[in-house]
Structure 1
Amino acid sequence: MTALPKPDPDLIAGFRSLGDASGILSDIMDELGITGVLPASQFRPTMAGACIVGPALTVRNIALREHPYEAARAKLNRMAEFEAHNLAEPGDVIVIDGVAGVSNMGGISAQTGKRQGEVGAIVSGGIRDVPHSRNVGYPVWATEVTPMTGKWRIETVEINGDVNIGGVRVAPGDIAFADDTGVCFIPRARAREVLELALKKAAAEERKCRLIDEGLAVADLPTNA
């Protein structure tokens, strides 16, 4: 387990200023040849209208070898996302490379993350207790929702190592961005480059929308937004 490398605070503030801009970020990442965009149809948000950005604090889970009923009888719980919560600093995003078909994060875990100042979580795998996480204001983007606990089925094997989320390699400290439309993982080393171009594109799109509202003819609208 290693310490989480942190992007500069002004970078996080800059991405936050974009609002729900996963589409803009996706366009910029295409232009720069950066892989890291995932659709909300695959990673579904639990809270409509939520938009988060922050450094990724990564967790990697694998399936336990023991039969879950035997593990349940023995109270054998090897999930350790609470260790990630313990390491978290305000503004972090928990990113879990999880196990399909079972819950990798429940309501108490979400409540703990909220208390620690995390802005939300992105989970490749199942989650549960969605009303609980909604009630505490902790948004989660996940590939599955299930009542089946991971306590007797999952082992956490690494915190703050590289993970694979939907085919995207994510390193701890990369910038995680998520909104109603999808999820973007921006490599920390290229975040400033992405942000500068995204701010320019956002300004151009804002101007184009203003011209539409003002009634400018379609043929006269700028095409580079």
Structure 2
Amino acid sequence: MDSPLWKNDEELFSIARQELFVALVGDILDQLGYVKQFIGPEIKPVAVEMIVIGRAKTIVECDVEKIPQSIITNNKKVAKPFGLIFEALDSLKENEVYICDGGSLEYAQWGGLMSTRAMCLKGAGAVVNSYHRDTNEILKLKFPTFSRGSYAQDQGPRGKVIDYDCPITFNGIRVHPGDVVYGDRDGVVIVPKDVVVPAFTGAIEKARGEKEVLKALQKGMSTEDAFEHFGIM
């Protein structure tokens, strides 16, 4: 399904950064029947002005002591330090978001060197269901990074990436490769790839409509009259 409002992901993501905010897209997803798409209020940007938007590059982390032997048997690379993390990161494509679930809250799953590599690959950001570290470096790079907060302890001896480019469940929300990950200071929402067009089309139309509502309110129109006239509030 194509949209007359944008030609490709690059144009869509640019419109989202300039005109939209995450709450708008969440509202439209609610209207479409997708009412559980936010990955939780505890996932926050390293800096409040950071915005992440891109296609999901899904990553699975696991604590070292919990990795089943069968997984190591099937892929010897998992036995290496950090498991498949370098392979997964190096396969990041332009406008993809490194989104990782799994493991525990005992170590950081994202850092400065990873941000540098992701930027070289034109990645769109990182969202981890754990901690980040190297905060000053990430802030200097301005690489969009969302996590549960900062914590310096390394994942090296504690966690490994055991799979990627597969469906994951992030705080109970299913994320598939190619879904759109969109986040700002108010939260991160997952837009299933099959509803990207209606979700963002609706959000763009609502955003542009809200500008008209704002003008009406500034001129003294009541909220009741504004909602009745515009159908937006």
**Structure 2 SS opposite 1:158:** strand
Equivalent position to 1:10, from 8, 11, 22: 8
Alignment: residue pair count: 208
Note the alpha carbon deviations across 1:62-114, whole angstroms, 9 max, x for none. Answer: 00019xxxxxxxxx622433322211122111101132221111111111111
Between the two proteins, what is the percent identity of the paired residues? 20
- Give the Å deviation of 1:18: 3.1
Distance in 1 (alpha carbons) for counterparts of 2:108 and 2:203:
35
**Structure 2 SS opposite 1:17:** helix
Please tell me whether the aligned partners of residues 82 and 155 of structure 2 are also in contact (alpha carbons under 8 angstroms): no
Segments of 5+ residues of structure 2 without an aligned counterpart are 1-5, 67-79
Structure 2 equivalent of residue 77 of structure 1? 81
Structure 1 moving runs of 4+ over 4 Å: none
Structure 1 equivalent of residue 74 of structure 2? none
Structure 2 equivalent of residue 120 of structure 1? 125
Matched, 1:97 2:107: no
Distance in 2 (alpha carbons) for counterparts of 1:111 and 1:15:
21
Using the size of structure 2 for normalisation, the TM-score is: 0.82
Structure 2 equivalent of residue 145 of structure 1? 150
Equivalent position to 1:189, from 188, 194, 218: 194
Equivalent position to 1:171, from 176, 182, 193: 176
Q: Does 81-90 or 175-184 show the bigger shift?
A: 81-90
Question: One-letter code of the match for 1:180?
Answer: R
Structure 2 equivalent of residue 3 of structure 1? none
Distance in 2 (alpha carbons) for counterparts of 1:84 and 1:212:
50
Task: Choose between structure 1 and 2: higher helix proportion.
Answer: 2
**Structure 2 SS opposite 1:185:** strand
Segments of 5+ residues of structure 1 without an aligned counterpart are 1-7, 67-75
Using the size of structure 1 for normalisation, the TM-score is: 0.84
Alignment of 1:15-94 (within 5 A): 15-19=13-17, 20-34=20-34, 35-39=36-40, 41-65=41-65, 77-94=81-98
Q: CA RMSD in A?
A: 2.0
Distance in 2 (alpha carbons) for counterparts of 1:216 and 1:65:
62
**Structure 2 SS opposite 1:184:** strand
